[in-house]
Chains A and B, each alone.
Chain A
Amino acid sequence: MSHENRIPMTHVWEHEDTSRIPFWAYTDEDIHKQELERLFYRNHWCYVGLEAEIPQPGDFKRTVIGERSVIMVRHEDNSIYVVENVCAHRGMRFCREKHGNTKSFTCPYHQWNYDLEGNLQGVPFRRGVKQEGKAKGGMPKDFKTSDHGLTKLLVAERGGVVFASFDHDIESLEDFLGPTMLSYFDRMFNGRKLTLLGYNKQRIPGNWKLMQENIKDPYHPGLLHTWFVTFGLWRADNRSELKMDQHFRHAAMISTRGSGGKDTQTTNVSSFKESMQLNDPSFLDVEVEPWWDGPTAVMMTLFPSVILQQQVNSVSTRHIQPNGHGSFDFVWTHFGYEDDTPEMTERRLRQANLFGPAGFVSADDGEVIEFSQQGFEQKPFHRSLAELGGKEIEDTDHMVSETLIRGMYAYWRKVMGV
């Protein structure tokens, strides 16, 4: 049997560096289960939502970390708690609403009742029933409600964004992000209150890592997203930088739209049409905002759970919610800032037509991820190539590199032990 036809039973990273990525990293269910444990449930802060989604005490939002259902809730004292949506009694996912307002959580099965911090408050028939003067049944004397709360997560909040961790022995959110990422995070979430504009949700039949890679890949935007190029929003020679944290797990692609003209040399797109004009230019009615401090687009990948988007006036979080090795839900939360004028809100909404499952430049991303997964599934013994810009892992001052993908897999290999 030739080497190429062998499906590996144990996962060995055969290449010396991460300029080759084995397809089994995307197709193996055991690898996926390990990723959930090591990347989503341990040692990593995961995105759960925006404070603006739960503005009032008692407001809650149901969401997920990895594949575990959790509830983010605002307490009466205004602090935010995150608890796992699994009843301590019989394990039921009791919360069925996506959002709402409540004073406590009750599992309908046996009416076990929890406060907003997840503490068990009481259980029906704890003392049994009284028959002929005798108490019958009920919980044993040594049953303590304090032993049977919901699983409580550690919560970190910064600039109106909420992260949580099942792992209570985790470094601070600030250390997790590192100084470089933190500076771009604080640029976007600079203390102004956020306003919720709404959601876009899509189910993409591909491995969740492909979405992280998509936003660590500055090679494709000017080639796949013809719309970007056609209407002058993207040029390969735009002033740009690629930056990572010290572990290479998070990254930022930072670019500043040039003022130069368009030509086929810088775009490399054969279908490029010099004369194309939008019938309605308000799609690209960009207004420079003071907080940008230069860059017109900063795309941050925070490993493993979220992408933070600033593309001119359109700002959103994109939450990665895996379901199995070959599929994930991708939830976009679009927002604005409390001091936005109505015109700025309109502008953010109009530019949102570029993004999301129907977006001029994002619809194609979901499609290529689906077809990449198809390719991986059909030859799991093979590997992909990420060699643009060399084999090194380093920050760059240009966009013609796949260094961020190599960096992410260097980190992934370390955590996964492969």
Chain B
Amino acid sequence: MKTENYLRLTQFYQNYATVVDQANWSAWLDMFTDDCIYKVQARENYDRNLPMAALSLTSKGMLQDRIYGITETIFHDPYHQLHMVSSPLILSESDTGIIESQANYTVLRTKNDGIAEVFNVGRYLDRIRITQDSIKLESRLCIFDNEMILNSLIYPI
């Protein structure tokens, strides 16, 4: 991989963390291709090849609908997210600009009146399309280790 592309990739991962931490949902949507996949799935299901996921969005329209849900319809306790994302491990890179990579993440949740708690830990398994002037997610699987989701998971991680 070209050094320049690796730098762009690491910036992309850190930018993603910043965007979701700031609840900047239009910027979050912009980080995906139109025919994208976004899933949040328990490691148990992933390891056993069971398709069920806590969130399984298979088009950009679904991502938009999810944002509408979390901003307009789902009642929930307000909270902040803080992501710590490791530097990416490159798994493969194709001549056509497709990178397969992964990174570990930790999400801390802080509720109003509360203190930060470990909310979700896992790894991103990604397929990323990189061109001269853009870098976008074709697919992001968030495979989480937690046996139990702490009550509810509202925002994208």
Contact = CB atoms under 8 A, between A and B. Distances in A.
Interface residues of A, number: 41
B74 to A, nearest CB: 5
A366 interface: yes
Contacts of B52: 197-200, 334, 349, 352
19 contacts: A197-B50, A198-B44, A202-B148, A226-B74, A227-B73, A227-B74, A230-B73, A278-B61, A280-B62, A349-B53, A352-B56, A356-B54, A357-B153, A358-B40, A358-B154, A360-B69, A360-B73, A363-B154, A364-B74
Interface size class of B (residues with CB under 8 A): 35 or more
Contacts of A366: 151-152
B77 interface: yes
A353 B151 contact: no
Interface string A353-386: 1001110100110111011000000000000000
Interface centre among A198, A224, A282, A360 (most CB of B within 10 A): A198
Contact of B151 (A204, A278, A352): A204
B95 interface: no
Interface string B69-92: 100111111000000000000000
A335 to B, nearest CB: 9
A203 B73 contact: no
Contacts of B68: 276, 279
Contacts of A202: 148-152
Contacts, number: 120
Contact of A224 (B53, B64, B75): B75
A98 interface: yes
Given A200-B52, A363-B154, A271 B75 contact: no
B62 A283 contact: yes
B130 interface: no
Contacts of A98: 44
Nearest to A354: B69
B59 interface: yes
Interface string B29-70: 000000000001010110010111111111111101100110
B147 interface: yes
B62 A279 contact: yes
Nearest to B41: A198
B74 A280 contact: no
A271 B69 CA distance: 13
A349 B51 contact: yes
Contact of A279 (B40, B55, B64, B148): B64
Interface string A313-356: 00000000000000001000010000000000100011011001
